[in-house]
Each structure stands twice: as structure tokens, then as C-alpha cells.
Amino acid sequence: MDELTVDGYDLQMGTNLIGHFYFTKLLLPILEATAQNSGEKHVRVLQASSVTHYYGSLDFDTFKDGPARRKLSVDGLYARSKYVSKFACSNGFADEYLAPWARIASPRADSLDPVLGNKLWEWLDEEVKDI
């Protein structure tokens, strides 16, 4: 429960969401250039998760340490970090969603909420802007 990033984020959220988001953002220029120079005009970013993401939810108050975060178990924080990272992918880059064992499926309907998806993208952009 006491594992936090240097910036005060839940360590699992920092690793499974913010880290992935920032790394992908850093790769975007080369991904866009590669797409322009490929025959298919297409590149792919794959993100792996776990079946645990089915048990998570999105609550901005749990991203950093505080009372809402401390009410959750370590497993609950992990599930939340996996769900939110899937949520971010479902609302931006995803044109296919693979369920566990590489089966094409649909993500949870709530992970396709465009308003909440935009709020998450804006929050992430704000959090990494000065890195």
C-alpha cells in the first residue's frame, strides 16, 4: 500500500498507465513517420494486460495517494491500474481488442465512454507535459 512513484502516484498506476502512456507518446513521431513510409501506411502499438482488468474501474481520486486510494486493497489497485490502461487504449488507438488468449472481442462498454476517455487523455497529457 505504501508503494508510490517519486511523484506520489500509486506505483501500479504509474507503471501500468502513466508509464505506458508516456512511452507511447514519445514513440508517436517515429510511429507516424514509419506509417508514412510503409506500404500499408499503418503501424501498430500492442498493449498487454491481464484478465484482472475486468474487475477494475476508473476513479481519478485513486491515482495518487489519499483516502480513496487507501480504501482499496493491493489487488484492487492492480485491477484498477489494468482497467484504466485498457480504458486509455480503447478510447484512442484501438481498432481491435483482444481478450485473454488472443480472442477478438469487445472491450467493456463502459471503457468506450468518449467523455470519460477524453477526460483521461487530458489528465494524462497534463501529468506528463513537464517530463
C-alpha to C-alpha distance for 30 and 37, rounded to whole angstroms = 11
pLDDT tens across 13-69, in order? Answer: 999 899 988 998 899 899 999 999 988 888 877 777 777 877 888 899 999 999 999
Structure-block grid coordinates of residue 60 = 481519478
List phi, psi (to 5°) of 112: -105, 10
Structure-block grid coordinates of residue 18 = 502513466
Q: Kindly indicate the confidence band of residue 109, based on its pLDDT and cuts at 50, 70 and 90.
A: confident
C-alpha to C-alpha distance for 85 and 91, rounded to whole angstroms = 10
pLDDT at 93 over 60: no
C-alpha to C-alpha distance for 77 and 108, rounded to whole angstroms = 18
Residue pair 1/70 in contact by the 8 Å Cβ criterion: yes
Q: Kindly indicate the confidence band of residue 4, based on its pLDDT and cuts at 50, 70 and 90.
A: very high
